[in-house]
Amino acid sequence: MGLSELLPEDVLADVLRRLAPRWLATSRCVCRSWRATVDNRGLLSAVADLLPRTVAGIFLQHSSTWMSSFLARPSVGPMVSADLDYTFSGDGDKIYDSFEVRDHCNGLLLLQNCVVNPATQQWAHLPPRPPLPCVGPDYFYADEYLVYDPTDSPYYEVFSILRVRRKFELSPRHQIPSLEGSSFTFKKLDPALEELEWPPSPCVLHVFSSRTGRWERRSFVREGVAAGTIAHMRIDPYEHRYAVYWRGALYVQCQTDFIMRLSLSSEKYQLIQLPVTFEPDGCSDEAYARRLSIGKSEKGVYSVLVDENQIKVWILDDSDGQIKWVSKQLVVDLPKLQDKICCKSQSHGPWVLQGINFRIDKARGFGNPATEQFEWDSDNDNLLPDNGNGTGYKHHITFLGFHPYKEVIFLNDSSVRVLAYHLNSSKIQDIGYIYPEEDVYSLGNDRVWVERSFPYTPCWMRDFPQNV
């Protein structure tokens, strides 16, 4: 006698409802009665509505950590509030850092000390990070990335990726700002350390698992050759690099513009060179890393290079067993306004600006979620024609992220407004300002730039491991 015959259908449906969506879909193949229970109760369709399938907005982390914001897309569905004050539990002196958005994956945000789901307002503290290698923070730092797939499991992981600090030719008295805002006296590395290959193999990473509630050491063995030496990595300026979680692998953009592809199932990693060669000598400032970046869109992992008004896009293809970059569009020439000095846009886009620290940002004019809600028409909303008659971008374009389900790139124009560029139609949309509207016209040269940005896809599933 099978399980389906022992359990009433109501009980069986309640058991199946607790499965992750991927395993719920698989359960339909067990037997006819299970398939009938899943279909008749609409279990899959109910779960599908809770999964991250749409873009609710863009989280923006500015160069001044006190100014973090969420540019929210109008919608007829439930609005996501970016008010994250409920996660704050520190003293007043740390209020700014506590809301620094460091990463996003399938509906979860990684902050400095916690992981939070803004859609359900569930969150959990992260325990203290493991210490850096014995040579200390003078030489290394760590970036952290989220891995979360609600179709597979309610649990998430945080990967800490070790990086090498940039080499500076400075006098011993010169003080260099550290990652945490303090300062240290720079010292040259031991020559033997400088010549070590990077990344090492095995590469030992610290990984936080919400299943166990603690940081663990996980070893990944490299397939193929190293990217270079530690000395080679130190010629690259420190900038935030993005990561993509795609089909069971974490793709992390590393120093000197190679990608570390970590296979979570095999615990192996391989290095993938980006389609554009790293050129530190041709970079006049440290914004190079923000011009060349990676992201996830409709067909998987994408690479983008934004240079003035030109955009180059590639897609990572491994369909024939060989990993290679396929050009999506070699050059995209964005329409350009004649007046490069004036950064005031011709129209104010429909997206709503929210601050994520309401205790501070309400005083600065950030809006609350709009009470009048409407669906964003991604094909027709607020399109900017490229006829050269005063529409287009104003001054300087930087990359904000990819739409994860459509071939659309989000761009930052002049550190003021957000544009959406459609790769297939070459249409441009004016989405909205990244400042409170009343501040845009008085910014002058005092505007700050966006250090990190994450198109946000809300997940409404409540199976979230929380602190109790």
Q: Is the pLDDT of residue 175 over 50?
A: no
Over residues 208-219, mean pLDDT: 95
Q: Residue 38, SS3?
A: helix
Name every residue whose Cβ is closer than 8 Å to that of residue 254 and which is 6 or more positions away in sequence.
161, 163, 199, 227, 241, 260
Name every residue whose Cβ is closer than 8 Å to that of residue 290 and which is 6 or more positions away in sequence.
239, 240, 398, 399
Q: Which comes out higher in pLDDT, residue 207 or 392?
A: 207
pLDDT in the model for residue 170: 40
Give the burial class of 268: count Cβ atoms within 10 A of its Cβ; 0-12 exposed, 13-18 middle, 19 or more buried: middle
DSSP state of 274: -
With pLDDT > 70 as the criterion, what percentage of the chain qualifies? 63
pLDDT in the model for residue 153: 84
Task: Return the top range by mean pLDDT from 38-52, 124-138, 382-396.
Answer: 124-138
pLDDT in the model for residue 374: 40
Over residues 1-23, mean pLDDT: 66
pLDDT in the model for residue 436: 65
Start-end of H helices in 176-216: 191-194
Sign of the alpha-carbon torsion through 450, 453, 458, 464: negative
pLDDT in the model for residue 443: 53
Per-residue pLDDT reduced to its tens digit, 214-235: 999 999 999 999 999 988 888 8
Q: Is the pLDDT of residue 447 over 90?
A: no
pLDDT in the model for residue 413: 82
pLDDT in the model for residue 285: 43
Q: Residue 43, SS3?
A: helix
Q: How far apart are CA 273 and CA 228, in angstroms?
A: 12
Report how far apart, in Å, the C-alpha atoms of 161 and of each of 132, 164, 250, 252, 436 are.
Answer: 11, 10, 11, 9, 35
Q: How far apart are CA 22 and CA 204, in angstroms?
A: 30
pLDDT in the model for residue 199: 94
Per-residue pLDDT reduced to its tens digit, 366-399: 555 444 444 445 544 444 444 343 444 556 788 9
Q: Which comes out higher in pLDDT, residue 391 or 152?
A: 152
Q: How far apart are CA 398 and CA 390, in angstroms?
A: 20
